[in-house]
Chain A
Amino acid sequence: MAINWFKYSSPASFYSLSGKMIPIFVFLAVVTLIAGLYIGFFVAPTDFQQGEAYRIIFIHVPAAWMSMFLYVVMAFWAGIGLAFNTRLSSMLATAIAPTGAMFTFLALWTGALWGKPMWGTWWVWDARLTSELILLFLYIGFMSLQAAIDDPRRADKAGAIIALVGVVNIPIIYFSVQWWNTLHQGASVSLNQAPAMATTMLTGMLIMVIASWMYSIAVILKRVRVIILERESHTAWVAELRKKEAAR
């Protein structure tokens, strides 16, 4: 028997499914976070030039990757919501934005902390740094536009347009270090060449990447459940849920 995936595009059934998924992802996030930080701080060797300061990569790189990836996912769901008028996809986009913004901020902030001792400056207006800052503004713009419009369906549509327009920025961030002379170094890890770092460093970093994935999934699901309850509060199933909760 084939699973009818469209069943889960209904907010009610997704609400119960996501409720079951959250504990799994919270558990995975905690385990990978502890393992990743342990390797990052205690197992991975010191770098030959940067000393201990290079350990920023265990936070900085996963955060920067997540900031770009989450934006693409957000724009994807916002676009689906705009095209097909599916309520859940727009809610998902709304739920992703704060987490994406947090990772963008984290990437910028950790980068600044590393930049001061290593480069000699907190901030430069090079293509990589500037385009990542624009990403933060896109997230903030998306969230504030949605917050400014009272009708959630209209807010979804307006937000989707910002999200889709902003997608242009993602390849600019990613390829900026190749297209232009930037102060920011090129990618240490990419799909088409061997990683330019020691194995334990890479392992620690990749575990931290998994941890940030798990964290993002858990938090976004939690947030989308709240949004579902808020927006579906007029429906019968939410009323029933409320009754059940009250009875307990």
Chain B
Amino acid sequence: MKPRHKKLAVITVSVAALSIAAILVLNAFQSNLVFFFSPTQVMANEAPVGKSFRIGGLVEMGSIQREDDSIRVRFAVTDTSEVIPVVYTGILPDLFKEGKGVVAQGRLSANGIFEADEVLAKHDENNMPPEAAEALERAAEAQKAALTQ
């Protein structure tokens, strides 16, 4: 083996070892790197108790209730299997809508309501013109109608 090939081999092995180390470290950090918990995880008591954390999921359809005399808003976050009610006082981002992704930071109160101090909208990976979105919606409705018949 020529010295330069030996050097290349040493570099390759070092990078490989480093990658494996990184994978192991990341694996160990897995739970701490989670940006938010899903309602199912919260119900399974995986979320930190008594500390501030984030929940993420979809805003449940028909769950948004605004109070008339304040900017306090109530909604529910769902991952389609579990639902967590949320209260929040503040301005909501543009993309905050029923049926869309949301991430809220706050604490879970004793009565099971999540009191949020910050609400962020989570955008999905879809980008399309309004006509295409309408067409998709119509197709979904037609499919639903066909199923119920």
Contacts and interface: CB of A to CB of B under 8 A. Distances in A.
Interface in A97-145: 117-121, 124-127
Interface residues of B, number: 44
A187 to B, nearest CB: 6
A contacts with B: majority SS: loop
B95 A118 contact: yes
A236 interface: no
A95 interface: no
B86 to A, nearest CB: 14
A172 B26 contact: yes
Interface residues of A, number: 42
Interface stretch (A7-15, A22-30, A78-86, A225-233): A78-86
B68 interface: no
Interface string A163-180: 011011000100000011
Given A85-B4, A120-B119, A181-B56, A164 B129 contact: no
A152 interface: no
B125 A196 contact: yes
A246 interface: no
A172 B30 CA distance: 12
Interface string A190-227: 00000011100100000000000000000000000000
Contacts of A82: 7, 11
Please report whether the interface of chain B is mostly helix, strand, loop or mixed according to DSSP: mixed
Interface in B24-41: 26, 30, 33-38
A118 B35 contact: no
A126 B35 CA distance: 6
Nearest to A201: B127
Interface string B13-28: 0110011001000100
Contacts of A164: 11, 14-15
14 contacts: A47-B129, A48-B129, A48-B130, A49-B133, A82-B11, A83-B7, A84-B7, A118-B121, A120-B91, A120-B118, A126-B35, A180-B30, A180-B33, A183-B103
Interface of B: 4, 7-8, 11, 14-15, 18-19, 22, 26, 30, 33-38, 56, 91-97, 100, 103, 118-134
